[in-house]
Amino acid sequence: MTADIRNWVHIGTLEDIPREGARCVKNGDMTIAIFRTAKDDVFALEDKCPHKNGPLSQGIVHDGCVTCPLHNWVISLETGAAQGADEGRTAAFPVRLEDGRILIDLSYSHEAV
Ligand code: FES
């Protein structure tokens, strides 16, 4: 049996986030963007593009990705990895939905590289 060492934190409800949009939450010095897709899937990434720190929360959400508003890099919502020929990754956090409540695991991230 393995212990659940995750640190799930309730950060709001699905209705707090517009479809294909994002809302930000603070975690210490870090800003985390919570994204909602057209299919009501929810993802959490540090609000910092791996290119030049553009605010991903202000980007366009589409096809499991967000396009950065500054120079149009496309970032995977699931992994935080830049797509196509671009290289880099922003921190991604596990998210789960419970009866419309959004919980994110702040103890864990796919670290930026
Ligand atoms: S800062 Fe995001 S594409 Fe340049």
CA gap 103, 48 in Å, rounded: 20
Query: How far apart are the C-alpha atoms of 83 and 74, rounded to whole Å?
Result: 6
- Indicate the number of domains in the chain: 1
Domain that holds residue 64: 13-105
CB of residue 73 inside a 6 A radius of ligand 1: yes
pTM of the model: 0.91
Task: Examine residue 69 and state whether it is found in any structural domain, yes or no.
Answer: yes
Ligand 1 neighbourhood includes 69 CB (under 6 angstroms): no
Residue 38 burial (C-beta neighbours within 10 Å; 0-12, 13-18, 19+): exposed
Residue closest by Cα to atom 3 of ligand 1: 71
Note whether residue 29 is domain-resident: yes
**Residue 91 belongs to some domain of the structure:** yes
Compute the distance between CA of residue 46 and CA of residue 59 in angstroms, rounded to an integer: 13
Per the domain annotation, does 110 fall within a domain?
no
Spacing, Cα 49 to ligand 1 middle (Å): 6
Torsions phi, psi for 79 (to 5 deg): -110, -20
* Mean per-residue pLDDT, 12-37: 96
- For position 37, which CATH number holds? 2.102.10.10
pLDDT at 3 over 70: no
For residue 94, tell me if it sits in a domain: yes
Question: Is the Cβ atom of 49 under 6 angstroms away from ligand 1?
Answer: yes
Question: In which band, very low, low, confident or very high, does the pLDDT at 39 lie, cut at 50, 70 and 90?
Answer: very high
Report how far ligand 1's centroid is from the alpha carbon of 91 (Å). Answer: 15
Average pLDDT over residues 66-74: 98
Atom of ligand 1 nearest to the CA of 72: 3
Q: Is residue 7 domain-resident?
A: no
Residue 8 falls within a domain, yes or no?
A: no
Q: Is residue 65 part of a domain?
A: yes
